[in-house]
């Protein structure tokens, strides 16, 4: 198909398709003339994927490229591609150093739970940043823990705070990983894992906000 | 305390404190000289809150201001402040129109579940955008549903996809709203709800990624 047909089939404006071609997020087509090229179903599929990562996942062009490069590198295993997607989703590292006590608290919690991730996993740093922020708020008498609660770096306090959240996502994540069919071709499998990670993360966040609004309306409005 | 002491107590650089003062995210202190002012514990508390929303919550200055203004407006009820926080967290609306079928599917799912949110709730739009993206991927043979699955706007398919996620956040959200003490002063309560919403959302996302990496390593690495 021609660029205009590719654009229509994917529902992506031609200007955006040309931009993706220029920055290499979409491979060039087969030239058919001085200013024309032919595209196939692989282009269409990649275009829909790139659009999804960028628009719904909110990934920058650079982050999208890192995911697409990992998909295209068939020497990378599925676990490796998932980690690239997590790095791409994570955004910049926290502007301020995360307190060591908060990092130690996260590591203790994860070890107790038997969850093991490498030290550079962005989610580990992110969770420590959340604990550090909660502790700052607690010291100032603001936030989810009263100032009289034990500090956030006390293992019992951290366990009490995080366990309901970890329990809630545990079954989800286990099901997501277990649900991937064994006999699926690698390309389909990694696309499925990446889009599932990116899109269902948005869905979890949206559903939590909806549930909060629902229960908050029940309790606080007449 | 002086500006330098306020900065030290909150762990926020003086340049950032001055910027917050200039754009009105932090109220001015009581002038004590041509270039000096005195700040009190209310300033310190607000400074820590603003920093948390901006740095950990990732809110823009404009979004932070909308939350802070809602906190300061004592005529606003708690439910109303929570909705302002959700709008602030939501970021820009989707660049492309969300398919009507996806919006109808979300409304049907929420109605079945008995969760009611107003039509302009950003999370409702966000969830519809996720369903719309999943459907586009499905049509192109990419993503979490095989191309042979029924379309995403079939109620049974939507229910099968979203129910485990909705179940996972249901108990969390109910506990978060129910856990707020009845006798807490309004200011503390709304700060607690807002910080809990913003920070624990980051925690949920981080924990889901950690759990995914853990289960993915178990299945896909030796």
Report the C-alpha gap between B50 and B43 in whole angstroms.
Answer: 10
- Residue B44: pLDDT above 80? yes
Give the distance from CA A180 to its chain's centroid: 18
Least confidently predicted of A209-213, B164-168, B191-195, B204-208: B191-195
Task: Give the A window 43-102 contacts with B, CB below 8 Å.
Answer: 44-45, 48-49, 51-52, 55-56, 58, 77-79, 82-83, 86, 89, 91, 94-96
Counting one residue from A and one from B, how many pairs have CB atoms under 8 Å apart? Answer: 297
For the question of an ipTM over 0.95, the answer is: no
Report the C-alpha gap between A75 and B47 in whole angstroms.
Answer: 49
Name the token pair of A79: 């676990």
Task: Give the B window 125-164 contacts with A, CB below 8 Å.
Answer: 126-127, 129-130, 133-134, 136-137, 140-144, 162, 164
Terminal C-alpha separation, chain A: 58
Interval B144-168: pLDDT, tens: 555 555 566 678 889 999 999 999 9
Whether B205 and A205 lie within 8 Å, measured CB to CB? yes
Interval B99-122: pLDDT, tens: 889 999 999 999 999 998 998 899
Map tokens 């001015």 to a residue: B28
Least confidently predicted of A23-32, B49-58, B146-155: B146-155
Q: Which residues of B touch A186 (CB under 8 A)?
A: none
Instruction: Spell out the long-range contacts of B177-184 with Cβ–Cβ below 8 A and sequence spacing 24 or more.
Output: B177/A212, B177/A215, B177/A216, B177/A218, B177/A219, B178/A215, B178/A219, B180/B78
- Supply the pLDDT for residue A150: 56
- Residue B129: pLDDT above 60? yes
- CB proximity list for B53: less than 8 A, separation 6 or greater: B59, B63, B64, B67, B68, B88, B194, B195, B198
- Report which listed range, A29-33, A91-95, B157-161, B187-191, is most confident: A29-33
State the pTM of this model. Answer: 0.88
Strand partners, A30: A38
Q: Which residues of B touch A169 (CB under 8 A)?
A: 168, 204, 207-208, 211
Determine what percent of chain B is predicted with pLDDT higher than 70. Answer: 94
Q: Residue B55 — very low, low, confident or very high, per pLDDT cuts 50/70/90?
A: confident
Interval A76-94: pLDDT, tens: 888 888 888 888 888 777 7
């Amino acid at each position: 198909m021609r660029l205009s047909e590719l654009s229509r089939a994917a529902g992506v404006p031609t200007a955006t398709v040309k931009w993706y071609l220029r920055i290499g997020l979409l491979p060039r087509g087969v030239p058919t003339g001085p200013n024309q090229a032919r595209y196939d179903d692989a282009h269409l599929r990649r275009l829909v994927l790139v659009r999804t990562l960028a628009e719904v996942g909110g990934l920058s062009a650079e982050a999208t490229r890192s995911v697409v490069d990992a998909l295209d590198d068939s020497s990378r295993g599925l676990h490796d591609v998932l980690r690239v997607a997590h790095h791409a989703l994570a955004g910049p590292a926290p502007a301020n150093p995360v307190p060591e006590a908060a990092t130690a608290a996260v590591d203790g919690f994860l070890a107790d739970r038997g969850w093991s991730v490498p030290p550079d996993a962005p989610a580990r740093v992110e969770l420590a940043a959340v604990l550090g922020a909660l502790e700052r708020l607690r010291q100032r008498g603001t936030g989810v823990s009263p100032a009289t609660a034990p500090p956030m770096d006390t293992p019992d306090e951290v366990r009490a705070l995080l366990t309901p959240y970890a329990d809630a996502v545990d079954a989800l994540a286990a099901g997501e990983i277990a649900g991937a069919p064994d006999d699926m071709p690698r390309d389909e499998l990694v696309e499925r894992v990446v889009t599932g990670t990116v899109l269902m993360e948005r869905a979890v966040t949206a559903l939590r906000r909806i549930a909060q609004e629902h229960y908050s309306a029940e309790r606080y409005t007449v």
